[in-house]
């Protein structure tokens, strides 16, 4: 168990993803990968988290609130997971790959079950030659607007970071989790 600077204990668990495209992409998009299997395994990844990983953590540490988060496709997977499962009261999505085909339509039609969401993006990420990826800025802005309406403006934030997609991603992800922890404590206290 780790103690946050606030004096509140938390557990951080990570799991290995062998094929990001296959394991984290919620549906097929040839702009991500032409392999037709890509987009077919995210449900398996989510089941691993909810049916295997979380029960083991609960057995060891008790029933703590879960912040699901990730970077890039991990951020996309986290946002998608919160529309499918109610196990994640907070989502930390750093530079999420929301440029994936039809994310906007999906997000409008499928409400998040999360109460708190952190979004971030590098200020250079939408200024790339690849037209699919260049949609990311507008997609993140749209997601932010949707979430503000659905969970309230105090429970979602968007942070514009310096640099491109591969700039300082460990710090960016740590900032995402840190904000979610602080926001959770401010609305729910030490439970």
Q: Tell me: the pLDDT tens digits for 39-97? A: 999 999 999 999 999 999 999 998 888 999 999 999 999 999 999 999 999 999 999 99
Tens digits of residue pLDDT in 92-147 = 999 999 999 999 999 999 999 999 999 999 999 999 999 999 999 999 999 999 99
Integer angstrom CA distances of residue 53 from 49, 95, 135? 5, 24, 33
For the record, the structure tokens of 25 come out as: 């992409």
Interstrand relation of 67-71 and 90-94 (parallel, antiparallel or unpaired): parallel
- Helix boundaries (H) for the chain: 20-24, 42-48, 54-61, 73-84, 103-109, 131-134, 136-151, 169-188
pTM for the structure as a whole: 0.94
Lookup result for tokens 């037209």: 131
Q: What are phi and psi of 87, to 5 degrees?
A: -80, -5
Structure tokens at 86: 């109610």
The CATH architecture to which 66-191 belongs is 3-Layer(aba) Sandwich (3.40)
């Amino acid at each position: 168990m780790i103690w946050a600077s606030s004096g509140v204990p938390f557990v951080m668990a990570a799991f290995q993803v062998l094929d990001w495209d296959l394991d984290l992409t919620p549906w097929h998009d040839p702009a991500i990968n032409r392999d037709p299997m890509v987009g077919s395994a995210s449900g398996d990844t989510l089941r691993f988290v909810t049916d295997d990983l979380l029960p083991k953590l609960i057995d060891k540490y008790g029933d703590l609130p879960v912040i699901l988060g990730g970077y890039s496709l991990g951020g996309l997977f986290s946002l998608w997971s919160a529309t499918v499962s109610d196990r994640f009261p907070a989502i930390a999505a750093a530079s999420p790959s929301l440029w994936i085909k039809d994310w906007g339509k999906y997000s409008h039609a499928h409400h998040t079950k999360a109460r708190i969401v952190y979004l971030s993006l590098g200020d250079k990420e939408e200024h790339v030659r690849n037209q699919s990826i260049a949609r990311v800025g507008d997609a993140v802005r749209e997601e932010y607007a949707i979430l503000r309406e659905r969970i309230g403006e105090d429970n979602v934030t968007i942070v514009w970071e310096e640099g491109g997609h591969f700039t300082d991603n460990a710090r960016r992800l740590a900032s995402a989790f840190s904000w979610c922890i602080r926001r959770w404590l401010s609305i729910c206290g030490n439970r």
